[in-house]
Amino acid sequence: MKTMSSARTRLIALSIILAVVAALFFFNETVKRHPRTPSSASVAAEKPLEGGSASAPIKVVAFYPLNPGHRFIADYLLKFAGEHPGQVHVTTYDMQSPEGMKQWQSSGLNCAGVLINGKTKHDIKRGDRTESVDFVKRMGVDWKQEDFEALVKQLSEANSK
């Protein structure tokens, strides 16, 4: 009986050793493929990113952590400003950088979001109805690109009158 118990103990110990070696190998390969050095995107995020003309009548200031899960929002806004430079000026702050955190705290926001001409909440006219949209939190979930574009169109039309 002792021999069987001893063989079982050795088998369990060998299994544990193999599991630890496999885990260390996997961890080492992961670190090789994804080193923890700052990317150019995270280095660039230390300073605000801007797009469009500074003299544009519509001022957009966005506060998001510019990590892979949120960067697409800033990229969209900056691209839009580049396509509409006379209408929109966009400044995006990385909430995780010291300057971005300071600017976000002084903005009055308590979550990530977009200030459009100084406020997040806007009434957007869609045909014969008016919808209130708050440009806080996540684009695609809490507000949509179509909302932003409709608001810019509405503000641009109001500015041209």
DSSP 28-60: HHHHHHS-----HHHHHTTS-EEEE-TT-SEEE
In Å, how far are 28, 31, 86 from 22, measured between CA atoms? 10, 14, 57
pLDDT band, residue 44 (cuts 50/70/90): very low
pLDDT at residue 29 above 60? no
State how many domains the chain has: 2
Range of the domain at 21: 1-36
CATH number, residue 44: 3.40.30
pTM to 2 decimal places: 0.71
Specify whether 102 is located in the same domain as 84. Answer: yes
Specify whether 32 is located in the same domain as 109. Answer: no
Specify whether 85 is located in the same domain as 129. Answer: yes
* Residues 118/75, Cβ–Cβ less than 8 Å: no
pLDDT band, residue 3 (cuts 50/70/90): low
Cβ-in-10-Å burial (0-12, 13-18, 19+) of 91 comes to buried
Specify whether 50 is located in the same domain as 101. Answer: yes
Specify whether 82 is located in the same domain as 123. Answer: yes
Specify whether 113 is located in the same domain as 150. Answer: yes
